[in-house]
Amino acid sequence: MSLKFDVPNGVSIAWPRIDGYRITGVFRPGVGFGNNFYIYVVERQGPGDLLAPIDIGPGGKIQRGELQFAATDRKYVFRDINLLSVQTRASWKERVRLLEFAYESAISDPPGGAQGQGISYELHDNAKDQLAPGSLRDQYKYSLGGSYDNLFSFSQWQSRDQARDIDLIRFSSRPNEKNSWLNKIIELSKSLASGSARPTDYWDIKFTQAKNNSIVVQHSRLQAFYLDHSAGHLLDFPLRSLDSVSESALQNSVVDVRLHFSSNARPAEDPIRSLQFQPSSNEVVETATLAFKQNTNLDLPVK
C-alpha cells in the first residue's frame, strides 16, 4: 500500500508504504455530508525505526489537493480534499503517524445542486474474490445491484417505545467491484444534490433475511447513512455503537465519526470482533449503518 498527496504549488507528501486507511462519512438526505466525510491514512514503524520527515505547510493556510492511495486490488483518487491534521505517536511498542483528510461541505455538497459536482473521486476496484459463507452459511447475503455476497455480520436495532420508535440496520462486508457501500453513498449524495433523484424515490438492498429478499430504502424515510471503509491497522479502531447512533437519530443529529487516535480497542458488539480470522494488511471491510426516521418500521423477520 502507498500514498501520494499533492497540492498545486504547495505541499507534496509521498509514502512508499502505508499500514492502513479508513474512509468514513455520514450522509443525510436534504443535508448532504455537511463536513462529515473523512479519510485517514496511517504509517507504522518499529520503536527503533525513524518516521520519514513530513512538511504540512505553514499554519493558517488550507492545503487542498489530490489524494491517491493504493492497495493490492484497489486504487483510490480523491480530488479537492483538505489535509486537516497530522498526528504522531512514539512508544516502546511502535512509532505511528496518522494523516487526516476531509471534505468541506462546499465541495461535497455544492449549493444549488450543480449536476456532476460533489465529491470528485475514482475507485479502481479489481477485487473479485467473494467472501466464503463461514459459520453463517448462505443465510446472510446481500446485493447492491450485482451478484449476492456473504456478510461478515448483520446488526439490527428496533424500538417500539413511543419516544424511541426507530429502526437501524448495519451491514459489514467485503467490498468488490459489484457491491460497494462507498460507491453507493457517493452516488446517492450526487443524485439527490443534482435533483436527478427525488425524496420520494427509493432504492433496494437485496438481503436474504428480508421479506421478498429486499429492503426498500425511501429517501424521505432515511435519516442518516453512515459509512466505514477500513483496511489494515485502522480496522483496529472502533465504530460508533448502534446505541449512540440511535440516540443521535432521536435528536435528529449525527454521531462523531472522526477517528480518535487514543482509542484503539473495538467494543464487543463491533462487527470486526465477530470475524473468525485476523484481517491481513490488505483486507478491506465496509460497514454501512442506516438510520431510519421514526415510524418507518422495516419489519425485518431476521432469524
User: Distance between alpha carbon 301 and the CA centroid of its chain, in Å?
Assistant: 27
Any domain includes 257: yes
> Does position 258 have pLDDT exceeding 50, yes or no?
yes
151-183 pLDDT tens trace? 999 998 887 666 666 789 999 999 988 899 999
Any domain includes 215: yes
Cell representation of residue 29: 438526505
Any domain includes 298: no
Report the alpha-carbon distance of residue 27 to residue 193 in Å, rounded.
Answer: 11
91-143 pLDDT tens trace? 888 899 999 999 998 889 876 544 447 899 999 887 766 787 777 888 899 99
Any domain includes 301: no
Q: What SS3 state is found at 219? A: helix
- Half-sphere exposure in the Cβ direction for 11 (13 Å, CA): 23
Beta bridge partners of 172: 153, 287
Report the alpha-carbon distance of residue 113 to residue 36 in Å, rounded.
Answer: 18
Q: Work out how many domains the chain is built from and give that number.
A: 1
Confidence grade of residue 239 (pLDDT, cut at 50, 70, 90): confident
Any domain includes 224: yes
Confidence grade of residue 227 (pLDDT, cut at 50, 70, 90): very high
Q: What SS3 state is found at 251? A: coil
Looking at residue 32, what DSSP letter applies?
A: B
245 phi, psi to nearest 5 deg: -65, -40
Write down the mean pLDDT value for the chain: 84
Any domain includes 300: no
Any domain includes 218: yes
- Percentage with pLDDT > 90 across the chain: 36
Question: CB pairs under 8 A, 24+ apart, for 54-63?
Answer: 54/13, 54/86, 54/97, 55/11, 55/13, 56/11, 56/13, 56/83, 56/86, 57/7, 57/10, 57/11, 57/83, 61/10, 63/7, 63/10, 63/11
Any domain includes 142: yes
pTM of this prediction?
0.90
Looking at residue 297, what DSSP letter applies?
A: -
Range of the domain at 215: 2-292
Report the alpha-carbon distance of residue 147 to residue 208 in Å, rounded.
Answer: 12
